[in-house]
Amino acid sequence: MRGSATARTPANSRRSVRAAGALVSAGLLFPLLGAAPSSGADDPAASARLQDAFASAAAEYQVPRSVLLGVSYLQSRWDAHGGAPSVTGGYGPMHLTDARTAIAIAMAGAPHHSEGTEDPRGDASRGVLKPMESEESKASKESTATVPENSQLPARLKTLPRAAELSGLSAERLRTDPAANVRGGAALLAAAQKKLGKPLSDDPADWYGAIARFSGADDQATAATYANDVFAVIRDGQARTTDAGQRVALAPDSGLRPDAAQVLGMGLRKAAAGATECPKTVSCEWIPAPYEEFKDPNGNDDYGNHDLSNRPKSQSIDTIVVHDTEGRWEGVLKMVQDPTYVSWQYTLRSTDGHIAQHVKAKDVAWHAGNWYVNAKSIGLEHEGFLAQPDSWYTEAMYRSSARLVKYLAKKYDIPLDRQHIIGHDNVQGTVPSTIAGMHTDPGPYWDWQHYFTLMGKPFVRTAGPDGGLVTVAPEYAKNRPEYTGCVKPGEKCETHGSAAVRVHTEPRDDAPLIKDIGLRPGGGDSTIGVNDIGARLSTGQQYAVADRKGDWTAVWYLGQKAWFKNPKKQPTALDASGPVITPKAGAESVPVYGRAYPEKEAYPAGVPAQPVTPLPYKLLAGQKYAVGDKMPGEYFYAPTFDTAPHKVVRGKDTYYEIQFGHRVAYVRAADVRMVSSGS
């Protein structure tokens, strides 16, 4: 979904959450592979404070220190986020949730605003879908609504008030003081252990049920998955420098064998996994999107909210699209269950990483705004907001999503790279008129390096300086470019780590940004707006090197030489090599396309030929671009509720997918030649 500006909050919390709703649950699971510990420079003066806070809280509440550290790592990776709440109103290293306070803060702020006109289905041969409710409309409703009582919120969204009762610490202190937050978390764990009738043992293995209860999940599978993940962290050990510059370490305990049977006696419901397609290592629940007929506003027959198909037999699945929801769990689930709206395959919940599947992988969901991409992709929506840099995602959700992507990639033979695992913001417009309306999520604050590290595929240097390609890979926490528009247009966003790097027309900081004539046909300048992807590289994307000067590297981007800062002391890209395409000999330029559709002659009788319309960009002689797949021109004809006339049309024309700008694009194989990046 598209990113939207968000409401301002007080300095001590800085970003807000809005209403979150009823629980939805899960399937069955076990632990994940251990994530590689992060690295960072130690702050000797501060490094002991948080580590000591864990030790002190563990002793005070008789909770094993490793349990406290393991739970906190799964929630926040020990980061405090400056007292800002997560996307679900969780605060501090223990992610203690106080959704009611976060909702009140959001209601007091400026209204959201939204941009874009993307039709999620992205098929010009059919009518535009019923538009989703605008952010302005939702904000207007919220401004006149009342703040919900805690009794109206699920338990997983109000753990901070409970921690305040148990610890005697004020809610404000629990929100803003990391050490107090850790004490509150320890109090919750101790109370959960006592409620289960278990002793306050010094053996971490005895705390499985209490950890499962801490997750806030109301079903066995999600609670068990959460506990399994915590014990995976404890077994593997972790060490990293937090966002406050403090070094925290948890020594590995490889022989740990927890009592997983404890979860069976906790009174949690059994969520039906049903027809879900998920790995056993995640909690997954089937909440189907409807395939139903209805009347549109003009009284015409229509249907939604996806198309039945038979992938991968009918056509390959070659892309996974990462989205953020721009909404809360309950509201997003209501939307996907409405036949007049959009659909996607999976939604992931931030508090505990729980997954709901809505559309079978064999079927085509309406999520990416480009029908060609929809027909060959799987869409994952993550609970969160693009323009709330401090409304952070939990480690639990990152891990759950990484497991799911790795599972789907293996099942459908999808390479784990950024040509195939893309953001919604990397999906190209289908024709010139749709480029400006395409979505921009998950945006510059999604941590692609951490995400791929969890999948076992971190971005690393694979060649020397003469390799001819670079992989964008700034250090997330230290890469802090300025953005505007998170709250109001033109207003600075809070400074925050980012996975994105800007490109300029010349190798200097004050040079103009690269222009995107697709986004701005009139030649307007790119901006540093959080939703403006016109001059932006993203972690994991690969580009062909065009030049180097001092601390600056130039790459080919949207038909232009684009410069970005890449100093040796803090590099923002890694050298790489691989195949690239360049215009065939004698061609001054070749056209670029937003979809790989077949030639007119390939369409059988009864199937209207779709125009092969070039975008306004040109790939010029001498330029090179990183290559993804080579594929035949293909169009999925599915205009009716009745599937009988559905057809997959394939042509003789073949295409290459390329990394052209921030978004991927396509060129006809007949127009280009493939060469080595180092040649």
pLDDT value at position 159?
A: 96
Which residues make beta-bridge pairs with 667?
656
pLDDT value at position 329?
A: 87
Q: Does the residue 599 lie in any domain?
A: yes
Q: Does the residue 475 lie in any domain?
A: no
Domain count of the chain?
A: 1
> Is the separation of the CB atoms in 443 and 424 below 8 Å?
no
Q: Is the peptide bond before 305 cis (omega within 30 degrees of 0)?
A: yes
Q: Indicate if the pLDDT at residue 668 is higher than 90.
A: yes
Q: Per-residue pLDDT averaged across 429-443, rounded?
A: 95
Q: What is the pLDDT of residues 514-528, one digit of tens each?
A: 999 999 999 999 999
pLDDT value at position 391?
A: 79
The rounded percent of the chain whose pLDDT value lies above 70 is 87
Cα 615 from Cα 372, distance rounded (Å)? 15
Q: Per-residue pLDDT averaged across 354-359, rounded?
A: 96
Question: Which range (3-7, 58-62, 238-242, 389-393) has the least confidence?
Answer: 3-7
pLDDT value at position 371?
A: 97
Q: Does the residue 631 lie in any domain?
A: yes
Cα 169 from Cα 56, distance rounded (Å)? 15
Q: What is the pLDDT of residues 319-334, one digit of tens each?
A: 999 999 988 888 899 9
Select the more confidently predicted residue: 24 or 659: 659
pLDDT value at position 139?
A: 37
Bridge-based pairing of strands 672-676 and 664-668 is unpaired
Q: Indicate if the pLDDT at residue 115 is higher than 80.
A: no
Select the more confidently predicted residue: 236 or 7: 236
pLDDT value at position 137?
A: 39
Q: Indicate if the pLDDT at residue 641 is higher than 70.
A: yes
The helix/strand/coil state of 74 is: helix
Q: What is the pLDDT of residues 2-51, one digit of tens each?
A: 444 333 333 333 322 222 222 222 222 223 333 333 333 444 444 579 99
Q: Does the residue 647 lie in any domain?
A: yes
Q: Per-residue pLDDT averaged across 179-183, rounded?
A: 98
Among 195, 250, 205, 255, CA closest to 228: 205
Indicate the pLDDT class of residue 269, thresholds 50, 70 and 90: confident
pLDDT value at position 103?
A: 62
Q: Does the residue 246 lie in any domain?
A: no
Q: Indicate if the pLDDT at residue 134 is higher than 50.
A: no
3-state helix, strand, coil in the chain (%, to 5): 25, 20, 55
Q: Does the residue 606 lie in any domain?
A: yes
**Could you tell me the CA-to-CA distances from 133 to 33, 114, 129, 138 in Å, in that order?**
40, 10, 12, 7
Q: What's the whole-number average pLDDT of the chain?
A: 88
Domain boundaries, position 599: 583-676
Q: What is the pLDDT of residues 478-491, one digit of tens each?
A: 999 999 999 889 99
Q: Indicate if the pLDDT at residue 575 is higher than 70.
A: yes
Q: Does the residue 145 lie in any domain?
A: no
Walk across the sheet containing 664-668 and list its strands: 614-620, 589-593, 664-668, 647-659, 625-637, 579-583, 672-676
pLDDT value at position 50?
A: 96
pLDDT value at position 629?
A: 95
Q: What is the pLDDT of residues 405-430, one digit of tens each?
A: 999 999 999 999 999 999 999 999 99
Select the more confidently predicted residue: 328 or 511: 511
Cα 9 from Cα 85, distance rounded (Å)? 10
Q: Per-residue pLDDT averaged across 555-579, rounded?
A: 97
- The DSSP string of 197-257 is T----S-GGGGHHHHHHHT--SBHHHHHHHHHHHHHHHHH-EEEE-TTS-EEEE---TT--
Question: Which range (122-136, 228-242, 495-509, 591-605) has the least confidence?
Answer: 122-136
Select the more confidently predicted residue: 162 or 27: 162
Tokens of 386: 């693009």
> Mutual orientation of helices 395-412 and 220-236 as an angle, nearest 10°?
100
The predicted model scores a pTM of 0.90
pLDDT value at position 527?
A: 97
Among 383, 355, 394, CA closest to 73: 394
Q: Per-residue pLDDT averaged across 628-633, rounded?
A: 96
Q: Does the residue 669 lie in any domain?
A: yes
> Is the separation of the CB atoms in 274 and 608 below 8 Å?
no
Torsion angles phi and psi, residue 219, rounded to 5: -130, 155
> Is the separation of the CB atoms in 200 and 62 below 8 Å?
yes
Indicate the pLDDT class of residue 609, thresholds 50, 70 and 90: very high
Query: What is the total residue count of the chain?
Result: 679
Indicate the pLDDT class of residue 604, thresholds 50, 70 and 90: very high
What separation, in Å, do the N-terminal and C-terminal C-alpha atoms of the chain show? 40
> Is the separation of the CB atoms in 9 and 106 below 8 Å?
yes
pLDDT value at position 47?
A: 53
